[in-house]
Structure 1
Amino acid sequence: MHEKIDFPRLGPVPGSKIVVVGGHGGIGAALCRRALETGAEVLALDTPTAIAEGGPIPGVTSLPIDVTDPGSVTAAAAEVGERWGEIDSFAYVSGIGDQDTSLMDYPVERWDQVQSVNLRGAFLVTKALVPAITRGTGSIVLIGSTVAVQPPPGLAAYSASKAGVVAFAKAVAKELAPDIRVNVVSPGITETPFLVGGSGQGHAHQEVSAEQWFGEEAYRKRLQMILLGRFAEPDDIVAPTLFLMGPGARYMTGQTIHVNGGLYLP
């Protein structure tokens, strides 16, 4: 029997247990707060540094995790299981950003770091948390990026990692069907500390605006590419993420929702 769709509220049903991995970043913290507003219970997993720098999120329990360390991921998953038993959904929002760097100047160590957090981390966390997800109604949402399908010069490592996330989600959606749905939300340019040099690991760049970071001319060029005329705010990404966690998306799996203001048109 199918889940009943509550059309006035298409997000998670009240009482849902949601894990947000990367829950103290710009999008992750917003997701935690908005999930609470739906009546969900929320666990935020992030690095100790990110938890300390982001500060507590009222109503949310935060647990430490290093998504690059299999032992840490296993321990965090065990802690989730001890606290809740089963979970309804999790979102993988952890990621490490990049600055434009040409292929010939790009350090191999940096390449490995980007792949380890963005792609390998998604694999480790998914593998660890799948056993706890409620069968029949469970949902996994991975955060991709527009650059996975429209990679700009200078972002080869980041683009490749996010393209891998999309392919990974499709493969896992086939493996876990029909019991667990797996989808991707791919943001375009989003106004968070991550955009202006934050690592996504809790080491935020100094307080600068996107215009200051890109430079006035480059900033204007980026805006001109976006049909809706602005960068995304975290809530723009959070809304479809919560939708995918709820019964309104009960017939969606293996899909990528592009949320980019018209920057990319499939």
Structure 2
Amino acid sequence: MQEIDFTNLGLPKGTKIAIIGGHGGIGAAMTTRAREAGADVIAFDTPTAISERGEIPGVLNLEIDVLYETSVSDAAKAVHKQWGEVDAVVYVSGIGDADTPTLDYSVERWDKVQAVNLRGAFLATQSFAPLLNRGTGTLTFIGSTVAIQPPPGLGAYSASKAGVVAFAKSVAKELAPDIRVNVVSPGITETAFLAGGSGQGLGGQPISGESWFGDEAYQKRLAMILQGRLANPDDIVAPTLFLMGAGARYITGQTIHVNGGLYLP
């Protein structure tokens, strides 16, 4: 059993982390903060996302396309070659879309959202979970509040993230007690994801709530959040990194909601 250091409940120094989707809004913040905390990090993302964000200093920046099984398995082989074993794997990769009624949604758009958000999580689990340290390894998926509180117009995205939650619970049971598996579920976060995700020609820049929703709709959303603001990436990164440490050693199969009070289970 891991010993808990109550003087430092954060990420243990020297933790080896593979972040899939490490150049998006949340992913890049996670990559940077983990490195600052003393972790060794390999950040995977699409060539477009890496180009838009730029290579993140101090980490190994490698390409992946979660749509393709061979790309994911090759990424896992790169981790094995670099480290042998890995302490933590985080699946951040995901794409969203503008609000669109289900009856107007194309099959092609539906399939791509499911492929990146859910099928990619499955492929990553198959390839990366065998590399995780037994006894201390962690696998974390980034979910979404809409998985359990789906709004109109986000049927495809909500369904994909609900699938991630169910998938994580199943995997947590399969890999217990050696590996802990959890979901961190953000509320609305000010990143390029609001406009569909990184790698979408947005230069990797944050998108403000006002610019994306419009002022009136933005104010309505703020009124629903107890904290009175949208999340920023660090709000999501901190609890994700905490789950990798001994302070979270008895947490598995859970969805950690990080939404400022937008959703109260």
Q: TM-score, normalised by structure 1?
A: 0.97
Give yes or no for the alignment of 1:100 onto 2:106.
no
Whole-Å Cα distance in 2 between the matches of residues 202 and 106 of structure 1? Answer: 19
1:38 CA drift (Å) = 1.8
- Counterpart position of 1:203: 201
Give matches, 1:84-233, under 5 Å.
Answer: 84-195=83-194, 197-204=195-202, 209-233=208-232
Structure 1 portions without partners, runs of 5+: none
1:57 match: secondary structure: coil
Q: Residues 187 and 237 of structure 1 are in contact (CA less than 8 Å); yes or no, is this contact kept in structure 2?
A: yes
**Cα deviation 1:2-28 (Å, max 9, x = unaligned):** 111112222221111001100000100
**Cα deviation 1:146-169 (Å, max 9, x = unaligned):** 000000000000000000000000
- Counterpart position of 1:262: 261
Give the partner amino acid of 1:164: G
1:91 match: secondary structure: strand
Give the partner amino acid of 1:203: G
2:115 match: secondary structure: helix
**Cα deviation 1:80-118 (Å, max 9, x = unaligned):** 110110000011000001111001100010000000000
Q: Residues 96 and 201 of structure 1 are in contact (CA less than 8 Å); yes or no, is this contact kept in structure 2?
A: no
**Cα deviation 1:130-182 (Å, max 9, x = unaligned):** 11100000001100000000000000000000000000000000000000000
Whole-Å Cα distance in 2 between the matches of residues 165 and 207 of structure 1? Answer: 25
**Cα deviation 1:198-236 (Å, max 9, x = unaligned):** 433453278753202211110000000001100001000
Name the count of aligned residue pairs.
264
Whole-Å Cα distance in 1 between the matches of residues 124 and 10 of structure 2? Answer: 23
- Counterpart position of 1:6: 5
Q: Residues 44 and 63 of structure 2 are in contact (CA less than 8 Å); yes or no, is this contact kept in structure 1?
A: yes
Give the partner amino acid of 1:44: A
Q: TM-score, normalised by structure 2?
A: 0.97
RMSD of the alignment, in Å? 1.2
Give the partner amino acid of 1:48: P
Q: Residues 190 and 207 of structure 2 are in contact (CA less than 8 Å); yes or no, is this contact kept in structure 1?
A: no
- Counterpart position of 1:49: 48
Whole-Å Cα distance in 1 between the matches of residues 43 and 122 of structure 2? Answer: 18
- Counterpart position of 1:39: 38
1:56 CA drift (Å) = 1.4
Give the partner amino acid of 1:25: G
Whole-Å Cα distance in 2 between the matches of residues 22 and 111 of structure 1? Answer: 20
1:37 CA drift (Å) = 1.9
Q: 1:208 to 1:140 in 2, by over 3 A?
A: closer
1:44 match: secondary structure: strand
2:82 match: secondary structure: helix
Structure 2 portions without partners, runs of 5+: none
- Counterpart position of 1:248: 247
Q: Residues 182 and 253 of structure 2 are in contact (CA less than 8 Å); yes or no, is this contact kept in structure 1?
A: yes
Give the partner amino acid of 1:217: E
Q: Residues 65 and 72 of structure 2 are in contact (CA less than 8 Å); yes or no, is this contact kept in structure 1?
A: yes
Give the partner amino acid of 1:19: A
Q: Percent identity over the alignment?
A: 68
Q: 1:175 to 1:222 in 2, by over 3 A?
A: same
- Counterpart position of 1:22: 21
Whole-Å Cα distance in 2 between the matches of residues 40 and 207 of structure 1? Answer: 25
Q: Residues 198 and 204 of structure 1 are in contact (CA less than 8 Å); yes or no, is this contact kept in structure 2?
A: no
Give the partner amino acid of 2:252: T
Give yes or no for the alignment of 1:58 onto 2:89.
no
